[in-house]
């Protein structure tokens, strides 16, 4: 069950209800264009303090720091969830190296004369 509060009225929403898909809130700006989706997250006090300290150390807002950390976490999660893409990338790089001809030095190294 999720607890949502709006103007001091509390409503309980069952997340496990069939067909329920939580959607981010979309707001519209004064020009009529839709803004970026927004979500609301409840954090434990200790986690919020760590997030706030990280944001301050990086000269960011707490919201922006949360966005950056979510992006990084999702990228890491996607890489871990799809290890085949990492091996394919490595294989492609090795194949490119094998196709490119090796450049070898011809003859002995030349001496460089410095003008004094």
**Structural domain that includes position 65:** 39-97
Q: What is the DSSP letter of 14?
A: -
What is the per-residue pLDDT for 15? 47
Summarised one tens digit per residue, pLDDT across range 52-61 is: 999 999 999 9
Summarised one tens digit per residue, pLDDT across range 7-22 is: 333 344 444 455 656 6
* Residue 86: pLDDT over 60: yes
* Residue 84: pLDDT over 70: no
* pTM value surpassing 0.85: no
Provide the CA 110 distance to its chain's centre, in angstroms.
50
- What is the total count of domains within the chain? 1
Residue 3: CB atoms within 10 A of its CB come to: 9
């Amino acid at each position: 069950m999720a607890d949502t509060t709006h103007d001091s009225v509390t409503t309980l929403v069952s997340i496990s209800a069939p067909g329920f898909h939580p959607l981010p809130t979309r707001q519209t700006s004064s020009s009529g264009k839709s803004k970026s989706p927004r979500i609301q997250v409840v954090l434990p006090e200790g986690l919020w303090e760590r997030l706030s300290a990280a944001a301050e150390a990086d000269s960011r807002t707490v919201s922006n720091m949360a966005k950056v950390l979510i992006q990084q976490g999702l990228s890491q999660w996607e890489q871990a969830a799809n290890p085949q893409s990492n091996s394919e990338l490595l294989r492609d790089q090795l194949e490119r190296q094998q196709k490119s001809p090796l450049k070898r030095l011809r003859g002995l190294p030349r001496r460089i004369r410095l003008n004094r």
